[in-house]
Amino acid sequence: MTESIADRVAIALTDGIADVRLIRADKMNAIDPAMFDAIITAIDRLSDTAGLRVVVLSGDGRAFCAGLDMASMASGGSGIDIVTRTHGSANRVQQVAWGWRTLAVPVIAAVHGIAFGGGLQIASGADIVVARPDTRMSVMEMKWGIVPDMAGFALWRGRVRDDVLRELAYTAAEFDGAAAVAHGFVTRTADDPRAEALALAAAIAGRNPHAIRAAKRLANLAVETDTATILKAESAEQGRLLRAPNQVEAVMANMQKRAPNFTD
């Protein structure tokens, strides 16, 4: 069953995998106020979804997301509050990208067509990004005389080389999916990124869900804190996993050469 949120985002949940699609295809999924609201609502609902193991995020139509709908923002959407912190350290604008990072489960973005500005930042909120080689991408904000402010710099830290990011932010130059792999924005390319992302999601969904969530917590922590804290967190996470039912099931399934039967 597919749920539609404000005709902007669709969510279908199958076997623990949430297939999340931006569905404003006639506008190349450009972000207007309704899209901001719908993405945040989708993240909130996924946070409360029992049995969720992986999210695949993609865009319908010709593009993943063309960035801000400048016409819409100019005609009434430009009054968005960017000062108030509405979601922990993030404001409402940042949450549409940062929220994917803070979801407990892995998020895989499947990117095609165009990912400009805010669209690139939304994709960067994912743990893993698969893109068509010919996808057009840009840190485009400088074209409009502004800077990336949808959590881009926080999400690109540890992912994109510093001098490369500076050049792209200063120039708003376009690059394709293949170059994005070298830059660090994209994990790998595929001719059908959504099919590739769904296949990867199925593989991840077959692993111990508690270990997967622990690995995401550690990966997030690794770019945010000091070595001593990371080392202690590794030990704490492992201590909770060892000899727990799902960890025992992972061992038994491997020994008996069968599919595991995990509980969430």
The CATH superfamily holding the domain 2-204 is 2-enoyl-CoA Hydratase; Chain A, domain 1 (3.90.226.10)
Q: Is 1 helix (H, G, I), strand (E, B) or coil?
A: coil
Above 80 in pLDDT, residue 221? yes
- Who has greater pLDDT, 202 or 264? 202
Cβ-based neighbour number of residue 13 at 10 Å: 18
Indicate the average pLDDT of the chain: 96
CB 157 within 8 A of CB 222: no
CA distance 259 to 264: 16
Sequence ranges of the domains in the chain: 2-204, 208-255
Q: Please answer whether residues 98 and 155 qualify as being in contact, where contact means their C-beta atoms are separated by less than 8 angstroms.
A: yes
Longest dimension (CA), the chain: 62
Q: What pLDDT, on the 0 to 100 scale, is given for residue 74?
A: 64
Nearest to 109 by CA among 57, 186, 181, 55: 57
Confidence check: pLDDT of 39 > 70: yes
Predicted TM-score (pTM) of this structure: 0.96
List b or e across 191-221, with b for residues whose CB sees 16 or more CB atoms inside 10 angstroms. eebbebbbebbbebbbbbbbbbbbbbeeeee
Residue range 208-255, CATH number: 1.10.12.10
pLDDT in tens, 143-192: 999 999 999 999 999 999 999 999 999 999 999 999 999 999 999 999 99
Structure-model confidence comparison of residues 45 and 71, the more confident one:
45
Q: What is the mean pLDDT of residues 209-225?
A: 97
Q: Among the residues of the chain, which ranges form H helices?
A: 33-47, 70-72, 92-102, 118-124, 152-156, 162-171, 177-183, 193-205, 209-222, 227-241, 245-255
Average pLDDT over residues 47-70: 96
Residue 78 in this model has a pLDDT that exceeds 60: no
